[in-house]
């Protein structure tokens, strides 16, 4: 049995998103032992990390960046995970957090927000060969919502994917002790759930939200969104999470 620690990256009062990863992990392997910690509510302890095979750092809806004083509890949690040699995965804020902890920089994208979908995500040569993106075809589309992005790459990290909006859409880092795989986008969020998020924020076209709700099963809706029909179907959408999970027992 594989034990996964999910690090909820939102404080109380913000949407709690660890459950999205619970749903994906249970679909991948329903025997998985899943634990959830919330560093903003209580520091992560050594006992939280005992017998953990992998750690997931979720996205976040907070207004501050990963280098801000307010984010110190999250940085401390990731540093502990890295110190214990636990393989880690990060989505959106989780990838930006890793970039910061590993010596890079994240900041608001000069291109503004990328909400709804990350389109035409191109694999680098390294990304085409890396097990993290096995099964992805270059030019894919995936649910996405973010303000910040990695603006300075951590030394030693490997760029795996990017697009016209955000040059760093996926990277991997492995120095023999620390192993991190991360994405700027959100494979864990269904297109329909993304439509609900956009509803709550407001200001997004009704046609976009309607097509997101149909995209898993309606090839026409997927194409209108700029996606290949298979990109937004569940098995393909969660490719990175499944590949990372499988790597823990490889």
Would residue 144 show up in a list of annotated catalytic residues for this protein? no
pLDDT at 229 over 90: no
Q: Evaluate whether 105 touches 154 at the Cβ level (below 8 Å).
A: no
Beta-strand pair 3-7/54-57 = parallel
Average pLDDT over every residue of 46-71: 97
Would residue 92 show up in a list of annotated catalytic residues for this protein? yes
Tokens 């959100």 correspond to 186
Instruction: DSSP letter for 131, please.
Output: G
pLDDT tens column, 117-173:
999 999 999 999 999 999 999 999 999 999 999 999 999 999 999 999 999 999 999
The catalytically annotated residue of 92, 114, 144, 165 is 92
pLDDT at 250 over 90: no
Q: What sections of the chain are H helices per DSSP? A: 18-28, 72-83, 93-101, 125-129, 191-201, 206-214, 219-224, 234-237, 239-247
The catalytically annotated residue of 8, 114, 149, 188 is 188
pLDDT tens column, 177-212:
999 999 999 999 999 999 999 999 999 999 999 999
Question: Which residues are bridge partners to 49 per DSSP?
Answer: none
As given in the structure block, the two tokens for residue 24 are: 């994906």
SS3 190: coil
pTM of the model: 0.97
């Amino acid at each position: 049995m594989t034990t996964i620690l999910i690090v909820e990256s939102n404080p109380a009062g913000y949407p709690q998103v660890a459950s999205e990863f619970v749903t994906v992990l249970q679909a991948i392997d329903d025997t998985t032992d899943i634990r959830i910690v919330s560093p903003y509510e209580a520091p992560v302890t050594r006992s939280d990390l005992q017998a953990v095979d992998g750690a997931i750092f979720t996205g976040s809806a907070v207004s501050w960046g990963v280098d801000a004083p307010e984010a110190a509890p999250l940085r401390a949690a990731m540093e502990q995970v890295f110190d214990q040699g636990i393989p880690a995965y990060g989505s959106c804020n989780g990838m930006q957090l890793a970039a910061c902890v590993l010596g890079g920089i994240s900041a608001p994208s000069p291109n503004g927000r990328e909400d709804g979908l990350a389109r035409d995500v191109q694999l680098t040569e390294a990304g085409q060969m890396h097990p993290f993106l096995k099964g992805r075809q270059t030019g894919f589309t995936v649910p996405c919502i973010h303000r910040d992005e990695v603006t300075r790459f951590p030394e030693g990290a490997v760029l795996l994917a990017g697009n016209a909006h955000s040059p760093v859409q996926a990277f991997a880092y492995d120095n023999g002790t620390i192993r991190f795989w991360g994405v700027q986008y959100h494979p864990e969020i269904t297109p329909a759930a993304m439509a609900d998020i956009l509803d709550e924020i407001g200001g997004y076209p009704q046609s976009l939200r309607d097509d997101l709700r149909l995209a898993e099963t309606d090839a026409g809706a997927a194409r209108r969104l700029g996606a290949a029909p298979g990109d937004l179907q569940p098995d393909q959408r969660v490719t990175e999470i499944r590949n990372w999970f499988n790597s823990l027992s490889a």
